[in-house]
Structure 1
Amino acid sequence: MLAVTAPEKSLFPLSYPLLLNALVGMLVMLVDMKILSAYSENAAAAVSIANQILLVAFDFSSLFAAGAVVMVSRQLGAGRADSARKTAVAALAANAMASLLLGLFLLPAAPYLAAAINCPSEIFSDATIYLRVGAFTILFNGIMMAATAVLRGHGETRLIFLLGIAAYTTYLASEYLLVFGWGVIPELGVLGSGLATLLVRMSAAILLLVVLVRRLQMRDIFHNFQLRSSLARMRQLFDLSWPGTIDNFAYGFYQMILVSFIASQSVAMLLSRTFILTLTAVLTVTLMAISQANEVMVGFRYGAGRKQEINGCVIRSSLVSTLLTTSLAFVLYQLADPLVGLFTEQREILRLAKQLLWITIFVQPFSAVNTILFHSLRALGDVVVPVMGTQIMMWVLSVPLAYVLAVKMELGTVGLWYVLLLEEALKAIFLLIRWIQRQYKS
């Protein structure tokens, strides 16, 4: 059984495996995009626009995972290891049921969703195929996200990294074979990419369940699982998770709307956004690794009643994430030409990409602060107000402004990045005020 004091680790031991795992994931995304671009640029665009929809679905399939991290780390902090294991099983069951329902919805809805975001006609068929394969993937993604959240709540970030390496290796090998074909394996293109994702997530879900049973000694709890007795824990998980999940879900729809503003303008707009999001994934994963580690630390200390240590954790994590991600953004800008050149030689895309990377340098400090504060507030159980505030900013301010800049003023993708800068700055200010108010009350 895992040690109850596992989340007692400091920021670096908790975050570096998550960071390494995320960086490897970013490298895999680069190779993935290179494989698809080598097959055809239309294939890369089809998978990109389909993933915009699937990201929303995947966020919803992890409905109970966020609550699992908070509850497990708190229960371990309070010395209640058996309760933590029961919470883990409840999270797995709840996530699996929610994901199954979502997959059943997405399967017939795929072409309608692709049409709703103005998917270009030349890639519509491939995007629909990828979405339908993705519908089968969602169940396994839900199980995988819940299991990973449980391990993270126990401070087992190194194990997450090792399992991630195995999954990434399998994915790239299977994707290459299924996209291009080899020997008796036919060339499947976009369908092959979707099947590779399904294969790996299914294998990862099964492996993670085996790890949880053996590592956390959960065999008896699985065998004795009763849905009725687990409903109270599921409700607790839901109360902690739903605001963040709705936030992610709404953010995914928000991004779909932004994509629709530029999708009808040109494929170059779509590809410049896709390539930059692929490159700046290093910033996102670095920030999320630090934020997720900080969330476990805050939750553990809150459960242990050591509230006086929490503010120091948050300040250190904010400083580290701001300095690190802003520096990385500057490096990406300096290396823009060779990095974007890995995907395309079109000068228009290269020009747009460099503009987006320059703006990203100024986005990062605000993004780092608001991400750390959002996850820290969630670890303390403060989820509704932060979500309401950020949602109001997105829908009342960002969407209308994005339409004006991207469509009316014809700034396209660059206009969307200016909106992102303003949005992240306002979120950081709002969450900082919320954090100070919370500290003052306590």
Structure 2
Amino acid sequence: MKTTQSKAAKLTLFALTWPIFIEILLHMLMGNADTLMLSQYDDNAVAAVGVANQIMSLIIVMFGFVATGTTILIAQYLGANNEEKANHIAVVSIVANLVFGLLLSFVLFVFGEQLLVLMNIPIELMDQALIYLQVVGGISFVQALIMTLGAIVKSHGFTKDAMYVTLGMNVVNVIGNYIFIFGAFGAPVLGVTGVAISTTFSRGLGLIILFIFLYKRLKGNIPWSFLTRKFPKNELRQLLKIGIPSAGEHLSYNASQMVITIFIASMGTAALTTRVYVMNIIMFAFLFSIAIGQGTQIIISYLIGEGRIKEAYHRCLKSLWIAMAMCTFGTIIFALFRETLLGIFTDNPEVIKLGGILMIMSIILEPGRAFNLVVINSLRAAGDVKYPVYIGILSMWGVAVTVSYGAGVMLGLGLIGIWLAFILDEWIRGVLMLIRWRSRKWENMSFVEKEKAV
């Protein structure tokens, strides 16, 4: 039987990353399918779903704090050949995120309207946004479980499993959208409600398949009885010690984006719609950085577990340059064909012109984002989870939000001012993260290293 260590030695960035890349691409395609199909129905529907998804993004970050800790801890323990401890972490993370997911689902369903009012949503978008938020948000605990199960199978090296599930979810979602948006096969035309139904059904199906994959890959070795023997205080402490600071950085980012969305909402529906269309296109460029960052996190977690610190250090730097090169190339291609791409979503000349300017500016923005997506994931994998939060809060609010309001609202630059703020924020944070990694202060911060020391 092959040992966990020999398996870890075979992990390569490409083998881990390409399924993650496809998985994220499919997730983005799902969002783009919603946007594209709704754009043929009503531009206001696109803006309504866009605002609702800002809130959903914040909620997903809340689920992510358990998933992040799960990925890192399981990979570290597998790297250290401690499969029993890795399985205990898996069980605790599933139950913890289920409980947390049910709580947040209740909040979204009951207080959805109040949350949208806080987002300063235009009155003409309220009804559609509320329907989407209550339906999709009301079963968001399913997304919490999907993220947790996905983290478990990926940290075992089975990144293709999550990719296959996402592919199936995409197919089901698109078929559902077609039926309910356009009234195919005699179905009622439901618009935003139809998109919400398709999304929830596809996620429910995806969750079932992921559970099947999990049992298959772990050969049924999921020690649920572990929770009946004692309260998992140590495992929860480990998950929270990594997850809460990690979520803090994500939470700060998404909260700042919500505030910036409020600024954009004050500019009118056209500005909101433009941002949604541009982000849906540009996401295809920075998904390279996301995938490489996640793959690098898994590899570095294994390397840290095995005590191979020097290799972990160089792995991050190599991954960073790859991510920067690929996302820059992708953004340039999109900028060259900006009018054609935006024309897929809308024929509004104002939206196409402004969106084109933002796509050109993104050529500068995306390499800065690559720093954060790769280096921050590497710092987390090594156990250095607090530094990114401190710097993130200072930059996101002191730079992104402040400059967005100053340049975008007060100086009247609109979305161009907002994009300038994004560029400054990503580059300032990114450079500071690289300096932190090069300082090597993260060595001996992981739980596995601390346990070895004890």
| Partner residue in 2 for 1:51 | 53
Answer whether contact 1:240 1:378 (CA < 8 A) is retained: yes
- For residues 346-373 of structure 1, the C-alpha deviation after alignment (integer angstroms, 9 at most, x for no partner) is 1111111111111110112221122211
CA distance in 2, matches of 1:355, 1:434: 33
In structure 2, runs of 5+ residues without a counterpart are 445-454
| Partner residue in 1 for 2:358 | 356
* Counterpart residue type for residue 56 of structure 2: L
Partner-residue secondary structure (3-state), 2:40:
helix
| Partner residue in 1 for 2:417 | 415
Alpha-carbon distance, 1:231 to partner: 3.0
**Identity in percent:** 28
Q: Out of 49-58 and 248-257, give the one that drifted further.
A: 248-257
* Counterpart residue type for residue 414 of structure 1: I
| Partner residue in 1 for 2:311 | 309
CA gap of 1:296–1:220, structure 2 versus 1, over 3 A, is: closer
Partner-residue secondary structure (3-state), 1:63:
helix
| Partner residue in 1 for 2:450 | none
| Partner residue in 2 for 1:60 | 62
Q: Structure 1-normalised TM-score? A: 0.96
Answer whether contact 1:117 1:256 (CA < 8 A) is retained: yes
CA distance in 2, matches of 1:393, 1:214: 44
Q: Structure 2-normalised TM-score? A: 0.93
| Partner residue in 1 for 2:236 | 234
Correspondent of 1:296 among 270, 274, 298: 298
Q: How does 1:199-278 map to 2 (within 5 A)?
A: 199-218=201-220, 221-223=223-225, 225-226=227-228, 228-278=230-280
CA distance in 2, matches of 1:226, 1:284: 43
Answer whether contact 2:256 2:400 (CA < 8 A) is retained: no
In structure 1, runs of 5+ residues without a counterpart are none
- For residues 25-51 of structure 1, the C-alpha deviation after alignment (integer angstroms, 9 at most, x for no partner) is 333333221111111111111111110
Answer whether contact 1:301 1:307 (CA < 8 A) is retained: yes
CA distance in 1, matches of 2:334, 2:384: 35
CA distance in 1, matches of 2:142, 2:24: 20
| Partner residue in 2 for 1:427 | 429
* Counterpart residue type for residue 370 of structure 2: A
| Partner residue in 2 for 1:368 | 370
Alpha-carbon distance, 1:129 to partner: 0.9
CA gap of 1:131–1:441, structure 2 versus 1, over 3 A, is: closer
CA distance in 2, matches of 1:198, 1:441: 42
CA gap of 1:82–1:398, structure 2 versus 1, over 3 A, is: same
| Partner residue in 2 for 1:161 | 163
| Partner residue in 2 for 1:33 | 35
Alpha-carbon distance, 1:205 to partner: 1.5
Answer whether contact 1:393 1:423 (CA < 8 A) is retained: yes
Partner-residue secondary structure (3-state), 1:155:
coil
CA distance in 1, matches of 2:358, 2:2: 44
* Counterpart residue type for residue 266 of structure 1: G
Answer whether contact 1:136 1:198 (CA < 8 A) is retained: no
- For residues 391-434 of structure 1, the C-alpha deviation after alignment (integer angstroms, 9 at most, x for no partner) is 11111232121111111111111111000111111101211121
Residue 84, structure 1, aligned to residue 86, structure 2: yes
Answer whether contact 2:399 2:424 (CA < 8 A) is retained: no
CA gap of 1:127–1:441, structure 2 versus 1, over 3 A, is: closer
Answer whether contact 2:253 2:392 (CA < 8 A) is retained: no
| Partner residue in 2 for 1:151 | 153
CA distance in 2, matches of 1:394, 1:428: 12
Q: Out of 146-155 and 249-258, give the one that drifted further.
A: 249-258
CA distance in 2, matches of 1:32, 1:414: 26
CA gap of 1:6–1:98, structure 2 versus 1, over 3 A, is: farther
| Partner residue in 2 for 1:401 | 403
CA distance in 2, matches of 1:43, 1:286: 29
Answer whether contact 2:109 2:133 (CA < 8 A) is retained: yes
Answer whether contact 1:15 1:290 (CA < 8 A) is retained: yes
Answer whether contact 2:87 2:222 (CA < 8 A) is retained: no
| Partner residue in 2 for 1:120 | 122
Alpha-carbon distance, 1:263 to partner: 0.8
Alpha-carbon distance, 1:385 to partner: 1.5
* Counterpart residue type for residue 372 of structure 1: V
Answer whether contact 2:91 2:222 (CA < 8 A) is retained: no
CA distance in 1, matches of 2:142, 2:366: 32
Q: Out of 268-277 and 214-223, give the one that drifted further.
A: 214-223
CA distance in 1, matches of 2:265, 2:250: 22
Alpha-carbon distance, 1:265 to partner: 1.6
Correspondent of 2:98 among 96, 99, 106: 96
CA gap of 1:300–1:338, structure 2 versus 1, over 3 A, is: same
| Partner residue in 2 for 1:136 | 138
Q: Out of 300-309 and 185-194, give the one that drifted further.
A: 185-194
CA gap of 1:276–1:10, structure 2 versus 1, over 3 A, is: same
| Partner residue in 2 for 1:180 | 182
Alpha-carbon distance, 1:204 to partner: 1.3
- For residues 367-393 of structure 1, the C-alpha deviation after alignment (integer angstroms, 9 at most, x for no partner) is 112221100000011011211111111
CA distance in 2, matches of 1:331, 1:20: 19
Alpha-carbon distance, 1:7 to partner: 4.1
Partner-residue secondary structure (3-state), 1:151:
helix
Q: Out of 311-320 and 28-37, give the one that drifted further.
A: 28-37
Provide the aligned C-alpha RMSD in A: 1.8
